[in-house]
């Protein structure tokens, strides 16, 4: 498994790590984390950033400028992508201040600030990324099911 154990933290910068959908003048952050299809992924982000002209926001961004027509996500959001190349396609998903999901594709995890240009951006958010390999997720889920079954059995015995 390529996924490292534990949680890793990254500074995602509004300027240097902007997706910059129109100007293409900044580069998404490559976390170096490689995910396999089905791996569980949890990300939380704290901090404030500014994309220019609309105010200062957390990783959930703002609808002040509406949604980016390419990704369909509101601007100034923390966004993520799993793939071979950060700029090859537009399979970005919204991370915001809190995300949890399952990797729908295999590849490198990229994080970015969603904006059209980066020249007037400032601030950063600290993203904590926890990736759990699929096999481990299944083990956790089975352990959970075993626990629920055990509790039910105890309750049934108490009722009898």
Residues of the shown chain interacting with Ca ion in the complex, contacts defined by CB under 5 A: 51-52, 115, 117, 120-121
Give whichever of 61 and 107 is closer to Ca ion, judged by the CB atom. Answer: 61
Q: Is 17 helix (H, G, I), strand (E, B) or coil?
A: coil
CB 136 within 8 A of CB 57: no
Nearest to 132 by CA among 56, 11, 37, 41: 41
Largest CA distance in the chain: 70
Q: How far is the CB of 110 from Ca ion (least distance, A)?
A: 19
**CA–CA dist 2, 34 (Å, integer):** 6
Q: How far is the CB of 113 from Ca ion (least distance, A)?
A: 9
Give whichever of 21 and 44 is closer to Ca ion, judged by the CB atom. Answer: 21
Q: How far is the CB of 52 from Ca ion (least distance, A)?
A: 4
Give whichever of 117 and 134 is closer to Ca ion, judged by the CB atom. Answer: 117
């Amino acid at each position: 498994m390529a996924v490292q154990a534990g949680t890793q933290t990254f500074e995602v910068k509004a300027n240097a790590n902007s997706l910059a959908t129109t100007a293409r003048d900044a580069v998404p952050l490559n976390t170096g984390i490689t995910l396999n299809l089905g791996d569980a992924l949890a990300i939380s982000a704290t901090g404030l950033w500014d994309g220019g002209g609309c105010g200062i926001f957390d990783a959930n961004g703002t609808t002040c400028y509406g949604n980016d027509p390419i990704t369909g996500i509101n601007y100034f959001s923390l966004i993520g992508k799993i793939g071979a190349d950060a700029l090859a396609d537009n399979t970005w998903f919204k991370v915001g201040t809190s995300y949890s999901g399952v990797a729908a594709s295999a590849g490198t995890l990229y994080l970015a600030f969603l904006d059209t240009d980066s020249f007037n951006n400032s601030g950063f958010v600290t993203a904590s990324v926890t990736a759990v390999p699929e096999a481990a997720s299944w083990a956790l889920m089975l352990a959970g099911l075993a626990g629920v079954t055990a509790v039910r059995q105890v309750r049934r015995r108490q009722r009898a």
